Structure 1
Amino acid sequence: MAALLLTPAVRAFGAKGFWHALIAGILGAGAAAIGTSWVNTLALCAAAIGCALLTTVDLAVHRLPRAILVPTYATVIPLLVATAAHEGAWDALLRACLAALTLGAFYFLLGALAPSGIGFGDVTFAPLLGLVLGWFGWAQVLAATLATFICAGVAAVALLITRRATARTRIAFGPWMVFGAASVLWML
């Protein structure tokens, strides 16, 4: 439903509907597999839909728009609070919030040190992934962050070697953030 409501916003940024539907389906299937309860599965599916939309937009126009980020946060946060209440997992919620703050601060620092490398969209997107990853543990937060940078780096080197990019070519980083998070969560 959220994907249908946000489709005009996604199309306004030049993304193709097929790709966000495909990515949402793949991420949603993963969310259903690792959800600890029906409420947690809803939170993960909401995050998956937001990540799918953000990935397609970032690939198309190198932006992570607030028009998608804000509704995703507004859906995921209350669902994680409901999950904590339903499961009595207040420690997981606290860890998720701390992970969101930590990733947000880390990406903010990277953006401040290298503004041409990490954009503000990546900085505002990182806490969302921190919430989801932090729910499952600090090891997942660290592993996903490492996977993100390693995979993005390998892809950038491959593009340079094949001469499909130069050192000044901007590469969408949001999809690599999603890939890093999803790959770690799929290993749970």
Structure 2
Amino acid sequence: MPPLVIALAAVLCAVAAWLLTPWARRIAESDSRWLHRAVPAAIGAVAGAGAALIADHWAVLLALCALAIGAALLVPVDLAVFRLPDAIVWPTTGAVLGMLLVAAVATGEWARFGWALAAMLIVGVIYFALGWIAPQSFGLGDVKLSLVLGLALGWFGWRAVLWGMLGGFAVFAVVALLLVATRRVSLKSDLAFGPWMLVGAWAGLAVGAVSA
């Protein structure tokens, strides 16, 4: 995408996150510093710029911008209250699904849309299994979030899906080790996993875009 589109996507996603932050704060029922408007706005700006760098079609850009705005709200909420609210996850999923369907109609790339749906199902099943095996580590919010991440990653291919999933676990492991090493948390402390799922997903999207 041209530099102007990248800048515009960053600004629009930041503004949307800024405006939606009070709503997210009410859903989270928290006044945590993570939910001050500047934090979601900054995440929205970075993710929005990334969306424009990755997208290969205007409808895909809109899908990724929807994911960027969702991520800008979900990351601070999860860090603040260790929850990924349905009120944010499901509208984000619906927006991404709808815009990828528009992309498939506009481009005729129905195979990519099929891959996206298949990845959504497979990633969701994997996270559901993880939540079943280790409910203390993976909550239903993580399972629900995995659906939209699998959907977005699947559009860019199975390499993106693999990197996106593994990337989330890798980033989480590094962050957890650093926090333990600096004595910010203990081995028994609860840590939000959703933010690192999203970071890993964006890394996977970048890999998918480069290798496409």
- TM-score range with shorter-chain normalisation? over 0.9
Higher relative contact order (CA 8 A, sep 6+): 1
Name which of 109, 127, 145 aligns with 2:129. Answer: 109
1:185 pairs with 2:199: no
Identify the residue that residue 159 of structure 1 maps to in structure 2.
179
In the TM superposition, what are the counterparts of 1:26-45 in structure 2 within 5 Å? 26-45=46-65
Identify the residue that residue 192 of structure 2 maps to in structure 1.
172
SS in structure 2 of the partner of residue 171 of structure 1: coil
Q: How many residues align?
A: 188
Question: Quick one: distance in 2 between partners of 1:8 and 1:128?
Answer: 23
Gaps of 5+ in 1: none
SS in structure 1 of the partner of residue 144 of structure 2: helix
1:86 pairs with 2:86: no
Calculate the TM-score normalised by the size of structure 2.
Answer: 0.84
Over the residues paired in the alignment, what is the CA RMSD in angstroms?
A: 1.4
CA distances 1:148-171 after superposition (whole Å, capped 9, x unpaired): 111111211222222211121111
Report deviation, 1:186: 2.8
The answer on whether the counterparts of 1:64 and 1:122 sit within 8 Å (CA) in structure 2 is yes
1:22 pairs with 2:42: yes
Equivalent position amino acid for 1:44 in 2: L
Report deviation, 1:3: 3.4
Gaps of 5+ in 2: 1-14
Identify the residue that residue 25 of structure 2 maps to in structure 1.
11
Calculate the TM-score normalised by the size of structure 1.
Answer: 0.94
Equivalent position amino acid for 1:75 in 2: A
Name which of 96, 101, 120 aligns with 2:116. Answer: 96
CA distances 1:31-57 after superposition (whole Å, capped 9, x unpaired): 111211111111111111111111111
